[in-house]
Structure 1
Amino acid sequence: MNSYKRNHFWRCISLKDGHVHTAFCPHGTNDKIDDYIQKALQLGYSEITFAEHAPLPEGFIDPTPLQDSAMAPEDLDSYFQTIAEAKKKYAGKIKINTGFEIDFIEGFEGQTADFLNKYGPLLDDGVMSVHFLKNESGTYDCLDYSPDHFGKMVEAYGSVEKVHRHYYQTVLKSILADLGPYKPKRIGHVTLANKYQLKYQLRNDCTDEIIEILEKVSELGYELDYNGAGTAKPLCREPYPPEWVISEAKKRGIQLVYGSDAHQAKELGQGLEFMGIKK
């Protein structure tokens, strides 16, 4: 996609941020919801979705050292109440959506469906993402935890390519999974495996796996998260997904929804420059 067509495409849509985190995220910030919304208004947002990391499925043990990948179950009521209060406070100024970023974790589909059946009726929007990969030993790795851990995954899997392929295979499973009527229909940061690409370089970019994902996303009428967080990652420096994937997605009529994936208010708008939109 040339720069003119890309910029024209993004300028023709209202500025919605469909992927924003909050202080309820234990690996995030203490910034208040008001801080996020005030920043969103400064950026000219017309709509924002707070998509906090939903509590991990019952029985799943967070493999990260601090076990801080998702919000605590006991915070759910406060999370919903906080967003409900913001909706009232900013009514008529910006559309605020209550959402979750739901982790697809292979082997925990039933627990995830149960969670969505319980809390789905309270949601306006949502994202389905893959962060955890089930390995051959039956345990799990957090793909994007750190460069060093990614390097250990490369050693265990046998190559960078094998890690990437397993990630995309898991993303495809998330798309195909039957998680009930409240399953999010937007796939989060579809090329997250590229987070450390400048250190762990691929010999090929898993084109076949990504095209298969795009075909299924198109067939099911799902959306893609155009995630700006990768542009701020020092070993990535591109959005998730990169431009060639965006071009292939557009060919298939797939809707892309910008998401800053902000974990603090100042990160709202990250990656907008790659869309040809000035902050």
Structure 2
Amino acid sequence: MKRDGHIHTPFCPHGTKDTLDSYIEEAINQGFSQLTFTEHAPLPACFIDSTPTRDSGMNPDFLDAYFSSLQRVKREYAADLTIQIGLEVDYIEGFEKETAAFLNEYGPLLDDSILSVHFLKRLANWYCLDYSADLFGEMTEIFGSTGAVYKTYFETVKRSIEADLGSFKPKRIGHITLVHKFQKRFPCERDFSMEIDGLLQLIKKNGYELDFNGAGLIKPLCCESYPPPAIAQKAKEMGIPLIYGSDAHQAKDIGQGFKDMPLLHHN
């Protein structure tokens, strides 16, 4: 079964307005038989998005339209492929209760979901690590070094795995090496193999899945999947399910990186 488990939609405030149908038609053309649409869930109401454009999460006013639109295409394309309704939920340190409350409300409408870390906390502020290379560079100064950003990222992913977010907590951990996005410009000399091994052990212990994300392969300052092949191979050997995700933010991104991720072709 060829599956894409991480796809965004026209409801993404920082994506394109490509229609759901255009994403689906592209997926059908590429031979996918199962899709999960995972739009960025709205951020907690009391959290201030620190990105310059403040467009990291969906407008909560659009949630009803999002679910009804996905229910429509789920019905209309049922003969062609399986469509799952999902969300990509941000784990934001300090907002666990708000996130759990959101999931308790909307979890019953979800078939599938992803838990991801994009924001890192430093003192009383939060910073989005994947917004741009320039902002990542500013973070290395604020946190003290590139290694300090990496350390905080992996610690935050660990907290996300361990967090009690209720019975509707996502079971798939998103792009666990997203901090590598700008590694060609900001290389990190410190080895975080032990930390990543620890994350895999926790994912295994909790029975979670791993988002095997192709978006990094087409990012010019990354040039590798999230996680890279060696880590994905280790996860597979541990019995952790690897779920391919294009992380498409426009229809033409469906399948990105797939052909250059040979591990997927031996599942």
Place the TM-score, normalised by the shorter chain, in its bin: over 0.9
Give the TM-score, by structure 2 length.
0.97
The within-5 A match list for 1:166-177 is: 166-177=152-163
1:275 offset after TM fit, Å? 2.1
- Secondary structure of 1:133's partner? strand
Q: What per-residue deviation string (whole Å, max 9, x for no partner) do you get for residues 222-253 of structure 1? A: 01000000011010011000011112212211
Q: CA–CA distance in 2 between the matches of 1:91 and 1:201?
A: 45
Aligned to 1:161: 147
Aligned to 1:139: 125
Which amino acid counterpart does residue 186 of structure 1 have in structure 2?
R
Aligned to 1:184: 170
Q: Which moved more, 1:247-256 or 1:71-80?
A: 247-256
Aligned to 1:231: 217
Which amino acid counterpart does residue 128 of structure 2 have in structure 1?
C
Q: CA–CA distance in 2 between the matches of 1:59 and 1:253?
A: 38
Aligned to 1:199: 185
The within-5 A match list for 1:1-279 is: 14-136=1-123, 138-276=124-262
Segments of 4+ moved more than 4 angstroms: none
Q: CA–CA distance in 1 between the matches of 2:80 and 2:185?
A: 43
Q: CA–CA distance in 2 between the matches of 1:97 and 1:251?
A: 27
Which amino acid counterpart does residue 100 of structure 1 have in structure 2?
L
Give the TM-score, by structure 1 length.
0.93
1:91 offset after TM fit, Å? 1.1
1:25 offset after TM fit, Å? 0.4
- Secondary structure of 1:84's partner? helix
1:204 offset after TM fit, Å? 2.9
Which amino acid counterpart does residue 143 of structure 1 have in structure 2?
L
- Secondary structure of 1:162's partner? helix
- Secondary structure of 1:161's partner? helix
Q: CA–CA distance in 1 between the matches of 2:105 and 2:204?
A: 28
- Secondary structure of 2:157's partner? helix
Q: CA–CA distance in 1 between the matches of 2:243 and 2:203?
A: 14
Q: CA–CA distance in 2 between the matches of 1:244 and 1:90?
A: 36
1:37 offset after TM fit, Å? 0.3
- Secondary structure of 1:182's partner? coil
Which amino acid counterpart does residue 42 of structure 2 have in structure 1?
P
Q: What per-residue deviation string (whole Å, max 9, x for no partner) do you get for residues 118-145 of structure 1? A: 0000000000000000112x11000101
Q: CA–CA distance in 1 between the matches of 2:192 and 2:144?
A: 16
- Aligned residue pairs, count: 264
- Secondary structure of 2:114's partner? strand
- Secondary structure of 2:127's partner? strand
Q: What per-residue deviation string (whole Å, max 9, x for no partner) do you get for residues 92-120 of structure 1? A: 21100000000000000000000000000
Q: CA–CA distance in 2 between the matches of 1:120 and 1:232?
A: 32
Aligned to 1:6: none
Q: What per-residue deviation string (whole Å, max 9, x for no partner) do you get for residues 199-225 of structure 1? A: 000113411111110010011110100
Q: CA–CA distance in 1 between the matches of 2:232 and 2:107?
A: 29
Q: CA–CA distance in 2 between the matches of 1:56 and 1:201?
A: 30
Identity of aligned residues (%): 53
Question: What's the RMSD between the two structures over aligned residues?
Answer: 1.0
